Amino acid sequence: MLKTETPSAEHAALDQYSASELVEVLIDDQFNAVKAVRAAAPCIAAALAAALPRMQAGGRLVYVGAGTSGRLGTLDSVELYPTYSWPQERALALLAGGDSAMFAAVEGAEDDTAQGAADLEAVGPTPRDVVLLLAASGATPYVLGALHAARKAGALTIGFANNPDAPVTREAEIGITLDTGSEVISGSTRLKAGTAQKIALNTFSSALMVRLNKVYGNLMVDLKATNAKLVLRAVRLTMLATGADEEAARDALTQCDFSVKVAIVALNKKTSIDAARALLESAQGSVRKALAA
């Protein structure tokens, strides 16, 4: 039996716990998700190193999964644009059962190996692409179908599973095992198995964006100011990075369509918006390199 499906020996009387005991047990078990991701840190670092040159060459991130795993992949993909201005067409998510499965379970979709391959082939994978294959069990047919199609196309494949020696981690070029063990509620991989996947994906994509010059120091300087909250965040980030007051920061941002990077370079270098853009372009988008030029 898969470890994720094995009943927990610790909580056989879970349904008899008091409210406080029940809540504490469910929370405490989540700490094991962090431990599982930490143990996989070397593999996540290897995935980062392999993915970076492909992204620098114009490749795409393609997330593939079913159920909870697929929804977590979709979540990671859609958040890259507002957080880091990562082009939406370069972060795709394939979910067993199609887009509607994000909101309502499509029973049986995860068992269709051929559909997984067809969905991956439909996005036209290339050797520059990075395909992230997510399966708590590590053996979801839909995900394995996509994995085989991705490998055939020459894309980099990174497999995530919550069981050791799983097909998705064995057959991907880089396997990341998040060994979370049995769940408090037997087989419910939306618990710590899902938490571990969320942490691992966040870690991988955030580290990748740092390497792609989307961060200056530890400031998120390549966000899209698409709402009032993000406009205020852009102003605060510009002020933090430059020491400018709010009026100066907002004025610079207004001139460059709220590009925090451009505003930082323009204010710190005391140069025009056009010159700041040119410096950033020659520095491959690195604020640090543009300021040193």
171 is an active site residue: no
Q: Calculate ∠ Cα 9-15-17, nearest 5°.
A: 90
Q: Which of 10, 21, 24, 79 is catalytic?
A: 79
Residue whose tokens read 């490998």: 151
Q: Which of 5, 21, 89, 110 is catalytic?
A: 110
107 is an active site residue: no
Three-state secondary-structure class, residue 219: strand
Residue whose tokens read 């996989």: 40
Three-state secondary-structure class, residue 108: coil
Whole-angstrom Cα distance, residue 186 to residue 231? 44
Please give the single-letter amino acid code of residue 31.
F
Count Cβ atoms within 10 A of the Cβ of residue 249 and give its class: 0-12 exposed, 13-18 middle, 19 or more buried.
Answer: buried
The number of CA neighbours under 13 Å toward the Cβ of 70 is 26
Select from 181, 208, 202 the least CA-distant residue to 90.
208
Whole-angstrom Cα distance, residue 259 to residue 238? 9
Query: How many CB atoms are closer than 10 A to CB 128?
Result: 16
Residues acting as catalytic residues: 79, 110
